[in-house]
Amino acid sequence: MWLLAEYGRDRISLLIYLATLQQEAAEQLADLGRPVAPRRLTARFTAWVPARPARTS
């Protein structure tokens, strides 16, 4: 989970970064003749990001 530590409370930037990687992966898989449903990639790339940053005391 180093990405959460690196991006800290900047969840929007983290999601933009991950969505960019997701799109690149989709294009590369399609180029290899192995297209993947977008929802499967979403589950791997962005769905794990917490809805809200964890609160710190």
Alpha carbon separation from 44 to 38, 56, 57 (Å, rounded): 10, 27, 30
Q: Confidence band (pLDDT; 50, 70, 90) for 7?
A: confident
How confident is the model at residue 55, as a pLDDT?
A: 66
- The pTM of the full predicted model, rounded to 2 decimals, is 0.77
51 SS3 class: coil
Give mean pLDDT, residues 10-34. 94
Best CA proximity match to 18, nearest among 48, 42, 45:
45
Q: Whole-angstrom Cα distance, residue 49 to residue 6?
A: 13
Q: What are the φ and ψ backbone dihedral angles of 36, each rounded to 5 degrees? A: -125, 140
